[in-house]
Amino acid sequence: MSSDIRDWYFNEWDIEFPLYSLPEGFPEMSTQAQASIEPRLPPRSLPASESLRLSASMAWVDQVRAHVLLHIGGSDVRVTPTHGLEYYHALKGNVVKERREQDVEMHWFEKAGHSLDDVETSRVVWETARGWVNKYRV
């Protein structure tokens, strides 16, 4: 699990994330000291793990039939960029394997974070998304 918000996954799926799983003294430490410590994550039950798995896009990748445009920040600390990269390759693999008429396109922004909000990245995201919508407009 890689994220700058360690308890996000647990909170989002209503899985208990007890405060005692953080290192002793964590809130009172300096920001620099906090950054150097990995919180101990609580054990996750099998039902909780299955709930998380079934909510992930990879669990349903074989059922995707729509055209897909992905914009991925290579420096994202919220969602590991490799998740998007693996999803892209899984989608492309299904297109080839099943000889589908499905367009799958990915744009990778090496220095961009989760929000893809620097000026140049925002411009490229806007232009590629606009082009994508125009291409598939009915």
| pLDDT, tens digit (0-9, with 9 covering 90-100), for 95-123 | 988 888 899 999 999 999 999 999 999 99
Residue with tokens 């919220």: 78
Q: Tell me whether residue 3 is in a domain.
A: no
Same domain, 126 and 87: yes
Confidence at residue 125, expressed as pLDDT on a 0 to 100 scale: 98
Residue 68 and residue 34 in one domain: no
Cβ neighbours of residue 106 under 8 Å, at least 6 residues apart?
A: 69, 70, 71, 72, 84, 85, 88
Are 90 and 38 members of one domain? no
- What distance lies between CA 64 and its chain's CA centroid? 17
Same domain flag for 75 and 35: no
At residue 90, does pLDDT exceed 90? yes
* pLDDT higher at 7 or 74: 74
Name the residue range of residue 65's domain.
Answer: 58-136
**How far apart are the C-alpha atoms of 87 and 27, rounded to whole Å?**
36
One domain, residues 110 and 42:
no
Q: Does 68 reside within a domain?
A: yes
Q: What is the pLDDT of residues 26-84, one digit of tens each?
A: 566 566 665 666 656 667 788 888 888 888 889 999 999 999 999 999 999 888 899 99
One domain, residues 114 and 84 = yes
- The answer to whether residue 111 sits within a structural domain is yes
Beta-carbon contacts of 76 under 8 Å, excluding residues fewer than 6 positions away, are 112, 113, 114
Are 18 and 38 found together in one domain? yes
Return the higher-pLDDT residue of 15 and 62.
Answer: 62
Let me know if residue 131 belongs to a domain.
Answer: yes
Domain finish residue from 18, 35, 51: 51
Domain shared by 129 and 101, yes or no = yes
State yes or no: pLDDT of 1 exceeds 60: no
The reply to whether 41 falls in a domain is: yes
Residue 134 predicted with pLDDT over 90: yes
Instruction: Say if CB 35 and CB 71 are below 8 A apart.
Output: no
Residues 13 and 32 in one domain: yes
- 124 within a domain of the structure (yes/no): yes
Structural domain count, the chain: 2
- Residues β-bridged to residue 69: 105
* Judgement on whether residues 128 and 77 belong to the same structural domain of the protein: yes
